[in-house]
Structure 1
Amino acid sequence: MSFNYRIIFKFVSVVPIIIGTAMFIPIATALYYGEGAQLNNFLILAVTMILVSLVLLHFLKPATIPIRMRDGYLIVTLCGITACILGALPYWTSGQTDSVIDSLFESIASFTTTGSTLFNLDTIPRSLLIWKGVCNWLGGLGILVLTISILPALGMEGKTLAQAEVPGQILGKVTNRTSDSARYLYILYLSFTIIEFILLALGPMDIFDAIINTMASVSTSGLGSMNHAFSHYNSFYNEAVIVIFTILSSINFTLYFLLLHGNWKTVLTNIELRAFFIIMILGSGFVALNLYFTKTYGLMESIRYGTFQVVSMATTSGFSIIGHTGWPSFSIVILIVLMLIGGCSYSTSSSIKVIRFLVLCKLVGRGFTRRIHPRSVVAVKIGGRSISALRVSYITVFIMLYFILIIVGSIILSLQNLDFITTLSSSVAMLSNVGFGLGDVATGNFSIYCRPLRLVLCFLMIAGRLELFTIITLFMPSFWNPDKYKNY
C-alpha cells in the first residue's frame, strides 16, 4: 500500500497560496509606513508563491483514492514544514539577518504560536513585525484548517486529516463534513479577532499595537508589538481584554457550536472546561496570596499580576505583564506546572492539554484502588463515560514521550553551558509553545543559544505544535514501509 502522493502534493501546493495571500497584509503595512525595501521584498515573494502554487495545482489532477491515516500524518507534517520555510523567506531576504537558521527560527516560532524571537522587536521594520503576527494568527487554528477548507472545492475531502491533527483527542463532529466544520471554526476564530481588535482599539492602545496583540491573543502566541508592551501602556483595561480572549481561545472550539445550538447544559457540565477554570482559579489564588504574603507586591498588584501570569501560562499564550524572574519559588513552580498542563483540547493552546491531564489523574487513582482491591474492575471515566484502554494507553504514551523530549532537549541544550534553570525552562517553553522561560530566556528572546542549538529549539517547537505522535511516527521504520502492514 503506497502513499497517495498526488493528493499529498496537492495539499502541500495550496500552502504557498495561503502564505502568499497573507503577505499582502505586510505589503499594505510597508506601503503605509514607507518601508520601500520591505514592500518590494514582500511583493516579489507573494506574487512568486501564488503563481508557482497555481501552476502546480493546475497540473496535479484530483485523485479518487481516499486519504489514509499514513497520508494524513505526512500531509500534516509537510504542510507545516512548507509553511515555516515559506514564512522564513521574508526574514532572510529583508537584510535583518543573513542566517537561514535564524530566519527559520522566527518563522517556526510564529507558525507554532510559540511567540519567541531572536530579534529586538522594538527595532525591526513594522512590516516584518506584522508578518510575525500574521504567521501567529495563521498558526492559531493551524495552516491545515485553511487547507481543509479550500481543498474540497478541488474535489477532495480531508476527514482523515483532522484525526492526524488531533490524535488521542475526542474530536466532536459538529457538522456533517470536516470541511464545513473547518469553515465554521475559522468564522468563529475570525469573529474573536475582530471583536478583540475593536475592544483594544477603543482603549489606550494605538491601532498597530492593537492589531499585533489581537493576533497574538486569539492564537495564544503571546507576541507583543514591543518587548515591554504592557509596561508601556500600564493599562488594566488592555490586560483584562487580552486575558478574556486568551481564555476564550484556549477553550475547546467545538463547545462554541453547542452554545450556538442552545446546548448550554452540555457545555456547562463539560469536565475538561470545568477543570480548566478550576486550575486557573486555584493557580491565580495561590500565586496572588504568595506574592502578597512575601511582600513582593501590594494586595491589588498581587491579584492583578498573579492572575494575568497564571492565565498566560495556563493558556500557553506567553504574555508577560511584568518581570516574574524575581518572584518567590512557590509562584514560579506553579507557573511551570500550568505551562506543562496547557489549555483545552481542540483549541489554539498547546502543551499536554487538560483532558490528558485528567485521564492521567484518573489512571493514577485507579492504580491505588486496584492496589487496595486487586480483584476490582475499575474503568477510567471522564464525565461519566468510560475511556477505552487503547485511548488511555495512547494518552499515557503521549505524556511519557512529552517528558522524555523535555529531558533529551534539556541535555542537548546544556551543551551551551548555561545555568540549569535557563536550560530546563527553555526546553519546556519550546515544547509547550509558551515562548518564554526563566533565567536568561525570561524575556522570550533565545538569541543566547548558538545556531546549531537553535535548530534543536525549532524541532521542539514543531513537535509541540504538530502533536508528538505526528512527528515521532515519521521516525518509525514501519511508517516508510507501507507494504509491511496490509490492513493499516
Structure 2
Amino acid sequence: MIRTKVVVKFLGFILLFNSLFLFISAAISLFNNETSLIPLTISTIICAVAGILPRLFIGKTGEVQFHEGLAISVIGWFVTCIAGMLPYLIWGGEFDTIANAFFESVSGFTTTGASILNDIEALPKGLLFWRSSTSFIGGVGIVLFVLLVLPEKKGVMMSFYRSEVSDLSKMSFLTRSRQIIRIIATVYFSLIIVETTLLTLLGVSFFDAVCHSFTTVATSGFSTKNLSIAAFDSIWVEIIIMFFMFISSIHFGLIYATITRKKNNIFSSRPARLYLLVMLTGIILITLQLTGENFYGFWESLRYAAFQVISLGSTTGYATVDTANWPVFSIILLLYFSIQCGMVGSTAGGIKFDRIYLFFISVKKQLKLILHPEGVFAVKINKQMIDQNLQLQIMVFIILYILTFSLTALLLSVMGIDLLTAFSASIATIGNVGPGFGGVSSMANYGHLPDAAKYVLSFNMLLGRLEIMNVFALFMMLSLKRKG
C-alpha cells in the first residue's frame, strides 16, 4: 500500500531542491538586469512554498517502502518537469504555449537536449542558466540528488536505490547504496569542474563553459548557442567536449575504479573495451564514406564524423555540422548509435551498450543449448554471473523499448509527420538523444511539430529517462490496487 503522505512529503523535498537552482537563475537575471527576473522569481516562490507546505503539515511518516520509492521516482520526474516549465511559460517568447514550455522542461530534465527554440541566443542569461541547470539536475537523477542532502536512513536509501538504479548498472559497484550515490556524485561533479576549467582556459566565457559542462557531463546537449558547438569554431573546444561526452557515457563506477586504481576498471571491462571499439569503427566507416563521396576532405570528414558519432552515441546531441544531407549509410549508422547509446551506470540514455552486449551473449547461449540440449552454459560479464532473471529483464526491456518507439513513430505519422522525421524523432526522444534526422536534424528543432506531437514526445522522453519498466510497473501497481 502506498501512503500518500510519504509521497507528497518527498515531492516537497524535490520542489525545494528545484527552487534552489531557480533562485540562482533569478540572481543571475538580477545581476544582468534581465527581463527573466520576474518569471524566475515567481517560479522560485511557487516551488519553495509548494515544497515547504508538506513539511509544515505532514508529520513523521516513517521509512519509505519500495512501492512508495517507485511512486516518488516516477511521479517526482513529472512534478519536476511541470515545475521546471513555469519560468518558460511566464517569460513567454517562443514558449508561447504550454506544449512548448513543457517540452523544453522535459527535454532538459531528461537530458534529451531536444529544443523547440529557433533563437536560443535570444534567451536572457538567467533562463539559459536555468535551462542548463535542468540538465545538470537530471543528469544523475533528481531523486538521487535529493538523497545526497537528506539524513542517511537505510530503508529510504534502499527504496530509492532499487527504483532509480538498474540492476545491471549495480554490477560494478561492490559497495553500499549510500556509497554508490556518493561515488556517482563525486565523478559527476569532478568531470564538470575539470571540463569547465579546460573550456575557460581555451577562451570560452565562464558562463558558457559552466553551461556547456553541465550539459556535456549530463549528456544533454543543450547549448547556449544557435549553432551549438559549431559556434565556437575551435577544434580544441571540440576535442575537449568529445572527450567529456565519451567519458560521461561510460559507467561511473568504472571511471571511479580507474581513477582509484581498482581492479574492475575501464581497461579490464570487456563491455567498455567493445563500446570503444564500436565507436571507433563507426567513426572510421563514416569518415571513409564522407571522404569517398567528396562531402569533405579527409581531415574534415574525420573531425565531423568523430564528433557526431560520439555526440549521438553518448546521447549528448551537440552538433558541429548539419547531418541532414549526409549519405544514407552514414545516417543509418548514426541512427544505430542513437539506439545503442552509452553504458549503464552513466548519464547516457538509450538501450545501453551493455544490454545489447548481454543480449547477444544470451542469444549465443540459446544457440548452444539447441546444439547441446543437456549442456550447462553460463552468461557472464567481467567474470560476474548473470542470473536468468536479469537476462529476462533485459530481453523484456529491449522488446518494450522497440515497441514504444515504433508506436510513437506510428502516432507521429498519423499526425502528418513524414516517416524519417517521425521515426528518428521517436528514437531520439526515447533514447534521450535530442536531434534526429529529417525535420528534426542536428541543426533543426522540434518547434514546428504540432502540439500533440510535442506531448507524445515529452512522454517518450520521460519513459526513456525512467527506463520504461519503472513507469509500466507503477501503472500496473496502481491498476492492481484499483481492482483489489
Q: Same fold (TM over 0.5)?
A: yes
What do residues 131-161 of structure 1 show as CA deviations (whole Å, max 9, x unaligned)? 1111011111110111211232689732121
**Residue 44 of structure 1 pairs with residue 34 of structure 2:** no
Query: Residue in 1 aligned with 2:121?
Result: 122
1:162-241 aligned at under 5 Å gives the runs 162-172=161-171, 174=173, 177-241=176-240
Residue 62 of structure 1 contacts residue 155 of structure 1 at CA under 8 Å; is this kept in 2? no
Distance 1:44 1:141, change over 3 A: same
Q: 1:180 Cα shift?
A: 4.0
Contact 1:259/1:267, CA 8 A, preserved across alignment: yes
1:355 partner amino acid: D
Aligned residue in 2 for 1:301? 300
Q: CA deviation digits over 1:253-302, x for unaligned, max 9?
A: 11233234421454421122112211111111111112112221111111
Runs of 4+ displaced beyond 4 Å: 153-156, 172-177, 477-480
d(CA) in 1 for partners of 2:213, 2:246: 13
Q: Which residue of 1 aligns with 2:52?
A: 54
Structure 1 stretch displaced more, 153-162 or 321-330: 153-162
Moved more, 173-182 or 341-350: 173-182
- Give runs of aligned pairs for residues 102-181 of structure 1, distance below 5 A: 102-120=100-118, 121-152=120-151, 157-172=156-171, 174=173, 177-181=176-180
Report 1:72-471 matches (<5 A): 72-96=69-93, 97-120=95-118, 121-152=120-151, 157-172=156-171, 174=173, 177-264=176-263, 266-442=265-441, 443-471=443-471
Inter-CA distance 100–82: structure 2 relative to 1 (3 Å threshold): same
Counterpart Cα distance in 1 of 2:163 and 2:288: 42
Pairwise CA distance, 1:51: 3.5
Tell me how far apart the structure 2 counterparts of residues 476 and 376 of structure 1 sit (CA, whole Å).
37
Identify the range of structure 1 (275-284 vs 338-347) with the bigger mean alpha-carbon deviation: 275-284
C-alpha distance 212-55 of structure 1, shift in aligned 2 (>3 A): same
**What is the SS of the residue equivalent to 2:59?**
coil
The answer as to whether partners of 2:228 and 2:318 remain within 8 angstroms in 1 is no
- Paired residues of 1:366 and 1:378 also in contact (CA < 8 A): yes
Alignment check: 8 A CA contact 2:286 2:305 kept: yes
CA distance in 2, matches of 1:427, 1:392: 26
Q: Structure 2 vs 1, CA of residues 19 and 363 (structure 1 numbering), >3 Å: closer, same or farther?
A: same
3-state SS of 2:69 partner: helix
Residue 66 of structure 1 deviates from its aligned partner by 4.8
2:87 and 2:346 mapped to 1: Cα distance? 28
Percent of pairs with identical residues = 28
| Greater mean alpha carbon deviation, residues 180-189 or residues 439-448 | 180-189
SS of the counterpart of 1:221?
Answer: coil
Whole-angstrom distance in 2 between the partners of 1:153 and 1:257: 22
Shift in CA distance, 67/441, structure 1 to aligned 2, threshold 3 Å? same
* 8 Å Cα contact 1:149/1:180 also seen in 2: no
Alpha-carbon separation, structure 2, partners of 1:365 and 1:156: 39
Give, in whole Å, the separation in 2 of the partners of 1:270 and 1:483: 46
The alpha carbon displacement at 1:407 in A equals 0.8
Contact 2:11 2:51 in 1 (8 A): no
When structure 1 is superposed on structure 2, of 113-122 and 176-185 the one drifting more is 176-185
Determine the C-alpha separation between the residues in 2 that align with 1:408 and 1:238.
Answer: 39
Of 120-129 and 322-331, deviating more is 120-129
Mark the CA change 1:49 to 1:347 in structure 2 (over 3 Å): closer, same or farther: same
Work out the CA distance in 1 between the residues paired with 2:273 and 2:165.
21
Q: Any idea what SS the aligned residue of 2:343 has?
A: coil
Distance in 1 separating the partners of 2:293 and 2:399: 35
Residue 475 of structure 1 aligns to a residue whose secondary structure is: helix
Answer yes or no: is the 8 Å Cα contact 1:356–1:395 preserved in 2: yes
Q: Could you tell me the TM-score, scaled by structure 1's length?
A: 0.93
Unmatched runs of 5 consecutive residues or more in structure 1: none
- The Cα of 1:14 is off from its aligned counterpart by 0.4
275-284 vs 253-262, which moves further: 253-262
1:95 and 1:11 mapped to 2: Cα distance? 30
3-state DSSP of counterpart to 2:304? helix
Unmatched 5+ residue regions in structure 2?
A: none
Distance in 2, Cα, partners of 1:267 & 1:214? 22
CA distance in 2, matches of 1:85, 1:155: 30
Q: Secondary structure at the match of 1:106?
A: helix
**Aligned mates of 1:240, 1:280 — CA distance in 2:** 15
Q: Is the deviation greater in 125-134 or in 394-403?
A: 125-134
Q: Which moved more, 1:446-455 or 1:53-62?
A: 53-62
- Structure 1 contact 111–138 (Cα < 8 Å) conserved: yes
Amino acid at match of 2:85: A
Answer whether contact 1:67 1:158 (CA < 8 A) is retained.
no
Give the Cα–Cα distance (whole angstroms) in 2 for the partners of residues 257 and 191 of structure 1. 11
**Is the partner of 2:151 in helix, strand or coil?**
helix
SS across alignment from 1:347: coil
